[in-house]
Amino acid sequence: MSERVSSASVTLLDVAKAAGVSLATASRALNGSTRRVRPDLQERVLAAAEALHYSANAQAQAMARGRTNIVGLVLSDVADPYFSSIAAGAIRAAEEEQLVVTMACTFGREERELEYLAALRGQRARAVIIVGSRVQDRGLIDRLGAEVRAFEQAGGRVAFVSQRKIPADTVVVENRGGARALADALCGLGHRRFAVLAGRSDLLTARDRSAGFREGVLRAAGSVDPDDVVYGGFTRDGGYAAMNELLDRGTDATCVFAVNDVMAVGAMAALRDRGVPLPSGMAVAGFDDIATLRDVTPALTTVRLPLEELGAGALAMVVQEPAEQPRVRRVRGEVVLRESTPPLVQREPARA
């Protein structure tokens, strides 16, 4: 039982021999089983494993057992704080379940989700969580739906965060409702004329937030001039560019809603660059409440989303037994009013 370390890797058989037992007994001693092992033998096996630095070959275990403890996480971009927060939540939850997380990023090319899903099926991953924002391309959606079914047929579980098109367990973010509530609150501050930096027109998330916001505004008797809706990237630079375009066009909106926080920050940068005083010259609101951005000035009004919970929630769905009907877990956002959207008083013409 010396500390010799073979150059090749140590197998269970090595451990068994070192402990003077059979392979079967060694396996049972290390993993437990329905069968019991005599304490002294168990002791010896454990000691031998320790001494040899044994580490079970996960591939072989997976094959013998017919299943793995791998969970695939597919998202657009880890460097985006929205996704990385969700990922953190999922990873934390996975660790508690003794699951291993493998991660893949599409970096904006949604069709890669298909490849990754096939790859994860090959890995015999126990489950997959797909967080990318679903696009509108019908063909892509259908193919993804087919891959999802194939994955489930092979015994895997699938959950989405934030989508509505594919029948599968989903954590749905109430983008529409959250944006509506935000619009409501902003109208409550006295704003009536709004602009929207709507992000990519093919991303469902962006569309929902934009639509919900406009609904809310209309309901509160405000208005969004169609010219004041600018599309662009769903990123900081997209927000910056969209804001500039809006200013170039000219607008009489008193408040601009960017469909996520990073865009809002880009918009604020554009406003500053153009010499518009903040927050007095233009109110700005975002969506997500990204932790890293809570200290920008003026502090950003937004809709807080429990991002880590989204990831954790998806993981929870995926470890449960599958239901007959796809489950949907709805998550509400919470409007957080901050300095970037001060009450509007002086600019409204006095009435009454």
| 84 interacts with a second copy by CB under 8 A | yes
Return the residues of window 153-182 that contact DNA according to CB under 7 A. none
**Cβ at position 98, least distance to DNA in Å:** 14
How far is the C-alpha of 296 from the C-alpha of 271, rounded, in Å? 14
Looking at the Cβ atoms of 73 and 130, the one nearer to a second copy is 73
Instruction: Find out whether 305 and 85 touch, Cβ atoms under 8 Å.
Output: no
Task: Return the structure tokens found at 195.
Answer: 């602009």
Given the rule CB under 8 A, which of 42-50, 73-81, 185-193, 218-226 is the region that contacts a second copy? 73-81
| Residue from 1, 13, 154, 328 binding a second copy (CB under 8 A) | 154
Residue 178 interacting partner from a second copy, DNA, none (CB closer than 5 to 8 Å by kind): none
Buried b (16+ CB within 10 A) or exposed e, 67-89: ebbbbbbbbbeeebbbbbbbbeb
* Dihedral (CA of 201, 336, 275, 80) sign: negative
SS (H, E, C) 4-65: CCCCCCCCHHHHHHHHCCCHHHHHHHHHCCCCCCCHHHHHHHHHHHHHHCCCCCHHHHHHHH
Q: Closest separation between CB of residue 31 and a second copy, Å?
A: 13
Residue 201: closest CA among 171, 173, 238 = 238
The token pair at 148 is 């999802």
Residue 155 site contact among DNA, a second copy, none (CB < 5 to 8 Å, cut-off depends on kind): a second copy
Phi and psi dihedrals of 296, rounded to 5?
-70, 160
By CB under 7 A, name the one of 6, 31, 280, 320 that touches DNA: 31
| Residue 98 binds DNA (CB under 7 A) | no
Q: Work out whether 25 is an interface residue with DNA (CB under 7 A).
A: yes
Q: Does 5 bind a second copy (CB under 8 A)?
A: yes
Q: Does 119 bind DNA (CB under 7 A)?
A: no
Q: Cβ(165)–Cβ(136) under 8 Å?
A: no
- Which parts of 208-237 interact with a second copy (CB under 8 A)? 236
Distance CA 331, CA 56 (A): 40
Assess 100 for contact with a second copy (CB under 8 A).
yes
Per partner kind, with CB cut-offs from 5 to 8 A, the member of DNA, a second copy, none near residue 11 is DNA
Give the interface size with DNA as a residue count (CB under 7 A): 28
The span from the CA of 15 to the CA of 23, in Å, is 8
Query: Which range binds a second copy by CB under 8 A, 119-127, 136-144, 210-218, 313-321?
Result: 119-127
Across the strands, what pairs with 328? 170
d(CA 91, CA 28): 29
Site mask, DNA, residues 39-78, x = CB under 7 A?
Answer: --x--------------xx--xx-xxxx------------
Partner from a second copy, DNA, none binding residue 308, C-beta < 5-8 Å depending on class: a second copy
The answer to whether residue 46 forms part of the interface with a second copy (CB under 8 A) is no
| Residue 319 and residue 302 in contact, taking contact as beta carbons nearer than 8 Å | no
With beta carbons less than 8 A apart as the criterion, state whether 283 and 186 touch: yes
Q: What residues make contact with DNA under the rule CB under 7 A? A: 8-9, 11-13, 21-25, 27-28, 30-31, 33, 35-38, 41, 56-57, 60-61, 63-66
Q: What residues make contact with a second copy under the rule CB under 8 A? A: 5, 7-9, 53, 55-60, 62-63, 68, 70, 73, 77-79, 81, 84-85, 87-88, 91-92, 95, 100-105, 107, 118-119, 121-124, 150, 153-155, 236, 262, 265-266, 268-269, 272, 290-293, 295-297, 308
